[in-house]
Amino acid sequence: MTEQSDVKLTYAELVGLLEAIFLRHGVSGDAARVLAANCAACERDGSFSHGIFRMPGYVSTLNSGWVDGQALPLVEDCAPSFVRVDAKGGFAQPALEAARPLVLDKVKQNGIAVLAIRRSHHFSALWPDVEPFAEQGLVALSFVNSMACVVPQGGKKALFGTNPVAFATPRKGRPPFVFDQASSAIAHGDVQIAAREGHALKPGQGVDRDGQPTTDPKAVLDGGALLPFGGHKGSSIALMVEILAAALTGGHFSWEFDWSAHEGAQTPFTGQLFIIIDPERGGNASFEARVSQLCDMVLEAGQDRLPGDRRHAIRAVAEKDGIPLKGETYARLKQFAEG
């Protein structure tokens, strides 16, 4: 095998390459476009644990027959402010896209709406799901459960997924403020990266298969589990995410789905909830300016940066210079697309 040169791709080029991979592995045109844009955005913004690092997992999952790349999400108009989607075993992001116009209508009409997605696979970061709402002037919250890999506080058995919560809000004069944080002390993708690169975890992030504290990422991945962030408070947030993303939507809990018949499957088959608010319907015209003022004050108080600042800085460089990929990574992606 000849040595590959490193490359820099535009966002559109990377989306095109990833879209070809999804199409090549049985994903419908609509879903392939959504998933490729999502994954490329993570890579562009430096969310590397959810960028092209995930592509082998997508491919292996699709090859296993665990996820239905051709699923047509069924959007149900349940109530004036309540939309429900059966993703029918497909990915969550195309289900969101299918529901978006109806959800936006409801939010604009009524001031708030809930979107409950079930029977969906979510394998990416959560911030790409909420940021576009904030770019349209809306406040968005989202909750997604995943696969049992986090022990409840004081417990021995993994039950919760990493169960992230994402929040996005518009700000006056700058990009939306967005955070996306796992309810675990560390994201599962970061444990995978640590294992691959041979880094130790920090104390308090994981336990081994016997429930004993460990800093070895391989021990966590090999039958061990993650700990919630912030002790019992983080554990309660993880539990709330199970309630909102699975019980309320009608999706699976993080420990319920059984992929044992699908070797190579990696995507959690659960549910996802969105709460979207239109601040303008509350009659408070100064909202976006007030959020900007608040963010200024947090930086003045000495916090070194806000969530999302690093992403936007990396994005700015990528938009100017291109998205850097290692040569062997680029070659592997092309192989996935064409091979």
Active site residues: 49-50, 190
Per the listing, tokens 């994005």 go with 315
Binding to its own copies by CB under 8 A, coded x per residue (else -) over 133-152, reads ------x-----------xx
Within 4-63, the residues that bind its own copies by CB under 8 A are none
Within 236-255, the residues that bind its own copies by CB under 8 A are 236, 239-240, 242-244, 246-250, 253, 255
Sign of CA dihedral 80, 82, 88, 93: positive
- Residue among 217, 223, 185, 212 nearest 198 (CA): 217
Residue type, 57: G
Our finding on whether 277 is near its own copies (CB under 8 A) is yes
Least Å distance between CB 72 and its own copies? 19
- Tokens representing 183? 């309810």
Our finding on whether 283 is near its own copies (CB under 8 A) is yes
Least Å distance between CB 153 and its own copies? 6
Least Å distance between CB 63 and its own copies? 32
Contact 138, 277 (CB under 8 A): yes
Helix (H, G, I), strand (E, B) or coil at 182: coil
Half-sphere exposure of 228 (CA within 13 A, CB side): 26
The residue from 6, 8, 79, 212 that contacts its own copies (CB under 8 A) is 79
Our finding on whether 114 is near its own copies (CB under 8 A) is yes
- Residue among 279, 155, 255 nearest 207 (CA): 155
The 10 Å CB-count burial string (b at 16+, else e) for 14-48 is bbebbbbbbbebebbeebbbbbbbbbbbbbbbbbe
In the chain, what is the straight-line distance between the N-terminal and C-terminal CA atoms, in Å? 15
Q: Which CB sits closer to its own copies, 233 or 326?
A: 233
Q: Which CB sits closer to its own copies, 293 or 335?
A: 293
Our finding on whether 259 is near its own copies (CB under 8 A) is no
Our finding on whether 272 is near its own copies (CB under 8 A) is no
Only one of the segments 20-28, 122-130, 229-237, 322-330 lies at the binding site for its own copies (rule: CB under 8 A); that segment is: 229-237
The residue from 15, 75, 98, 116 that contacts its own copies (CB under 8 A) is 116
Least Å distance between CB 7 and its own copies? 33
Q: Which CB sits closer to its own copies, 61 or 272?
A: 272
Contact 47, 125 (CB under 8 A): yes
Please, which residues have CB within 8 angstroms of residue 169's CB and are 6 or more apart in sequence? 134, 139, 140, 176, 177, 178, 291
- The C-alpha atoms of residue 9 and residue 52 are separated, in whole angstroms, by 13
Only one of the segments 45-53, 215-223, 273-281, 315-323 lies at the binding site for its own copies (rule: CB under 8 A); that segment is: 273-281
Our finding on whether 3 is near its own copies (CB under 8 A) is no
The residue from 196, 199, 209, 233 that contacts its own copies (CB under 8 A) is 233
Our finding on whether 212 is near its own copies (CB under 8 A) is no
